[in-house]
Amino acid sequence: MDLRSRSRGALLVLIALGVLVTSGCSSVVIGLPSSRLAPQESVGDGSVPIVGATDGPIDSLARNALADLQSYWSASFPDVYGEAFPPLTGGYFSVDPNDVDPAAYPQGIGCGTDPRDLENNAFYCSAQGVPNSDSISYDRAFLGQLAAEYGEVLPQLVMAHEFGHAVQARVGYPQTSIATETQADCLAGAWTAWVADGNGEFAQIDTADLDQLLRGYFLLRDPVGTGSGEQQAHGSYFDRVSAFQEGFDDGPTACRDEFGPDRVFTQGEFTSDVDFANRGNASFGDTQDIIAASLPEFWTRAFEEVLGGTFTEPTLDTFGGDPPGCASADVALVYCGDGGDGDAGLVAYDQRFAEQAYDLGDFALVTGVSIPYALAARDQLGLSTDDTGALQSAVCLTGWYSAQVYNQQLSTVTISPGDLDESVQFLLEYGNDPDVLADVELTGFQLIDVFRAGFLQGSGPCDVGA
């Protein structure tokens, strides 16, 4: 994100942005744990045979997820695609690449691959004319590490994503890698919602697990600065999380219909040596200048051209330690209306907290301060500022502001690759932290969902009467 002069374009032009996930495989190096139990063809609670599986918890998670994935797509596929779902013919393969018995895999795993080459990976094989086509293979040690770091739901997500590729193999793939991968994330999200609603016979996902699941997606994003047209592009953090949530919220029909050639992805390539060197981040001081310049610009134009009326810029300040006396709670992000410093109230943020948030990236800090600033805008519209609905609206409005930054509609700021990923990180890390904002009953998953709604749809879903 950079602070620079830009010519003003048409106000608040909303581009309907698309979101993507992974295609045929996900590959992340995160450690080398090893399961030492002997491979076997295992059938457990879900009655799904998995070549090479053990009786350990990771294979049980995978097996139960696969059983419910088969049930879900057998029931949903006819409604979405108008025909019966053909079951996978190549089977399923579990591997610990550090402890392989070649006799357990006489024809290798998916696509005839040597099981020792599966390290830190999972993939669906659709190639024809090779051994074990139409199959899913996974490194159980890799999935075990994901489970240890991010909970049991993430290995199930990996299975759901790869099963999404099996769905694509039956109906056709999108044109690009990034669309293929994110559509598979969307399909995984649709199944996850079905399980979270209590429909799964074997798999279980509690809604409280969803924040951890989204945190795990951070490992699965492409490196910041990767172009969306790369041959193996899987999507940015924001792209992948958004695709998953789209499937979770709107079901498999949205996954079928919303991943065509017009879908827009937020993943971007570094285009300058400066951006590459600083990973797209402005300095801390410049970031504070961006906040002070871009938020009043956005809200002035938003009031004039969308919301009606005139926006009066609140006082923007920082504090160290204790918040201003007008604050109703000891929090790091403050909006004070009546009793604040200035006719339009006071927006203030703790300087030490700002430095912590900045460690996530410059736009994480911008996202944080934008939330109480949006409360100031709500106050001027005669709306509440101190309840759960107000915070939900403020996060949605922050998504709207972020879309205008992304679409280059503000003269005082431009987007850099990875900025929107930092918004997701901030909301997961701090969005429901009562030491940062007033205590509310919203999960990080819900906050990202409303941020995404504002980003994609503008003010409409943000409960400001516009």
Query: What would the DSSP string read from start to end of 5-52?
Result: -----STTPPP--------SEEE---------SPPEEE--TT---EEE
Q: Give the per-residue pLDDT at 89.
A: 96
CB atoms under 10 Å from CB of 401, counted, come to: 26
For every residue of 360-383, DSSP letters joined together read: T-HHHHHHHHHHHHHHHHHHHTT-
Please tell me the predicted confidence (pLDDT) of residue 9.
24
Q: Is the pTM above the cut of 0.95? A: no
- Cα–Cα distance measured from residue 176 to residue 172, given in angstroms and rounded to the nearest whole number: 12
Supply φ then ψ for residue 417, to 5 degrees: -55, 135
Query: For residues 324 and 280, what is the distance between their CA atoms, to the nearest angstrom?
Result: 33
Question: What pLDDT score does 307 carry?
Answer: 96
What pLDDT score was predicted for residue 175? 87
Q: CA-to-CA distance for 136 and 116, rounded, in angstroms? A: 15
User: What is the distance between the alpha carbons of residues 127 and 130, in angstroms, rounded to a whole number?
Assistant: 7
- What are the two backbone dihedrals, phi and then psi, of residue 178, each rounded to the nearest 5 degrees? -65, -35
**Could you read off the pLDDT tens digit of each residue along the chain, which spans 466 residues?**
433 222 222 222 222 222 222 333 433 222 222 333 344 445 456 579 999 999 999 999 999 999 999 999 999 999 999 999 999 999 999 999 999 999 999 999 999 999 999 999 999 999 889 999 999 999 999 999 999 999 999 999 999 999 999 999 999 999 888 899 999 999 999 999 999 999 999 998 887 789 999 988 887 765 554 655 555 656 788 999 999 999 999 999 999 999 999 888 887 665 566 565 556 688 999 999 999 999 999 999 999 999 999 999 999 999 998 889 888 788 999 999 865 555 789 999 999 999 999 999 999 999 999 999 999 999 999 999 989 999 999 999 999 999 999 999 999 988 787 889 999 999 999 988 889 987 677 899 999 999 999 999 999 999 998 7
Query: E-assigned strands of 234-374?
Result: 315-319, 333-336, 346-350
pLDDT at 7: 24
